[in-house]
Amino acid sequence: MKRKSLISLEEALSLNEDEVKTLFSNYLNPGMAKAFELLGFDKVYIKASGTVLRDRKGNKYLDFLGGFGSLNLGHNPKKVIEALQLVEDRPNILQTSLNPVAAALAHNLAVITPGELSRTFFCNSGTEAVEGAIKLSRAATGKKKIIYCRNSFHGKTMGSLSVTGREKYQKKFTPLIPHCISIPFGDADALERELKQHKDVAAFIVEPIQGEGGIIVPPEGYLKQVRELCTQYEVLLIIDEVQTGFGRTGKMFACEHEGVVPDILCLAKSLGGGIMPVGAFITKPDIWDRAYGGLQNFSLHTSTFGGCTRSVAAALAAIEEIIKMDLPKQAAEKGSYFIAKLREITDKHPLVKEVRGKGLLIGIEFKDSGNILDKLASGVAKKISQDYFGAFVAGELLNRYRIITAYSLNNYNTIRLEPPLIVTYEHLDYVLNAVDEILKNNRSTGKIIFTGVKNAVESFFRSKMKNGKKNNK
C-alpha cells in the first residue's frame, strides 16, 4: 500500500530499523531485503568515519568491505568534504561551458597514470567507464569484436554485461551486444589463439586482478604478455582498474606492478573519494582523436552528469590525499602483513581453500561446503547455503565481531577483505583475531556453517510466520 504523505529528510534520518526494513522491502528490492535478513546484514548504520561505523545503539563496527573498493580514503574523508564546500557557489551542472576543475582533474589523471594516457572522459560509475571504453575501442579501430575473460566483472549495463564473464548475470538479458568472445583469465596463449583466428578484434578487456571473480591474481607476467600480444595484433588493451585503482593493490594502478600501459584505462570507485559517484576512462590522444576528433565526432559520447563540478572537485581532492598519505605504499605494507598473518591462521584449516590477494585486496576462499551442509541442514537452508557459504562466514564476522565484509559477486564461497587503505594495524589485528577464533572454534565439524544456517533457518521461519499471521488477518 502506498503511503499518502511524503517522508522528509529529517524523518528519513530518524526512521527506526523496522521502518527502514519495511520501506526497503516495499519500495526498493524485496529479494535483497530478504537476502540481507538471512545473512544478518539487515542493519542500519547512522555514523561513519574512516574505518569505523556506528549503529543507533552506538555499537562500533569495522568496515572491511570498503565500499567494494570505493573507500580507499575511508568514510567521509575530511579533505574531500572540504573540497565540496570550496566549490559550493560554482555552477555544478553547466554542460555548455569550460569547467576548470574538470580540466584540472583530467590533467592530474594524465600525471598519475602511466605512459601516454592523457585524454579523459568523465562519467558516473564503473560500468559507464567500461561502456565508454568499449565504444571508444570500436570507434577508434573500426573493428567490432571484443575479447573478455571468464569470471570477469565489468558492470551490469548492457555493454559491460556483454563482457562480464558470468552466465548468471547474462542469461536473462540476451541477446547482449554481439561479437564478444570469452577466454579463460590468466591464459595468454588462449588470447593469442583468438587473435590468430579473428581478424577484426577491436579490444581485449581485462582486470589486473579479478575482484568480483573472487580476488583472482593472474600468473606473474600475464599482463605483460597480453600487452605484447595486443600490440602485435593491433588490438587495443582495455585495463579495468575500477576496483584495483588508486592504491588498492600497493601501486597507484595495478598495471604498474608489471610496467604495463594500457590503451584505455577504466576508473571509478575510489576516484570519487568515497563521496561522489565518479567514473572515467583515460586513453592516448591518437586513440581519442581517431574516435572522437574533430567537429563531426566530438559529441558522439557524452554524459549529462559526467564531470559536474562537485564530482570532479571531490576526485581532485581524493587524488591529492591519496598521494599525500602515500596510500599505495601503505596498502603494500599493510597488505603484506595482513596476508602473511591470514595465511598463518588459515594454513591447513580444513574449511579454508586459499588466502590470496595483493595489497589490501584480499580474498579467503572456503572449500565447497556442500557435503558438510548435506549432513547439517535440509530444505531451504541447504539450498541457499551451498551457494552462500562465504556469505555466511561474512555473517558470522558481522554478527559476532561487528566486522563488515562480504562475499564476492561471482564467487559466494570467497569473502573479500578490502578495508580502507588508512586502516590501522590495530584494526587489522582485531580482524585477524576474529578469523582465528571463528576457525579455531570450528575446526572440523562445520559448526560455523551450522550457526549460519541456523540463523538463516530461524530468520526464514520467523518471516514465514510473520507473513502467515498477516495472511490470516
Ligand X SMILES: Cc1ncc(COP(=O)(O)O)c(C=O)c1O
**Residues at the interface with ligand X (CB under 6 A):** 68, 125-127, 130, 153-155, 207, 211-212, 240, 242-243, 268
Q: Which residue number, 127 or 346, has a Cβ lying nearer to ligand X?
A: 127
Q: Which residue lies nearest ligand X, judged by its C-beta?
A: 126
Query: What count of other Cβ atoms lies within 10 Å of the Cβ of residue 457?
Result: 19
429 counts as catalytic: no
What the block records as the C-alpha cell of 18 is: 523496522
Write down the least CB distance from residue 8 to ligand X, Å: 29
User: Of residues 153, 253, 389, 392, which has the active-site annotation?
Assistant: 153
Least distance to ligand X, CB of residue 16, Å: 30
Residue 50 neighbours by CB distance under 10 Å: 20
Is the CB of 155 or the CB of 273 nearer to ligand X?
155
Active site residue 240: yes
Active-site annotation holder among 145, 269, 341, 358: 269
Residue 153 or 185: the one with the smaller Cβ distance to ligand X is 153
Q: Please identify, using beta-carbon distances, which residue of 40 and 213 lies nearer to ligand X.
A: 213
The smaller minimum CB distance to ligand X, of residues 373 and 417, is found at: 417
Give the active site residues: 153, 240, 269
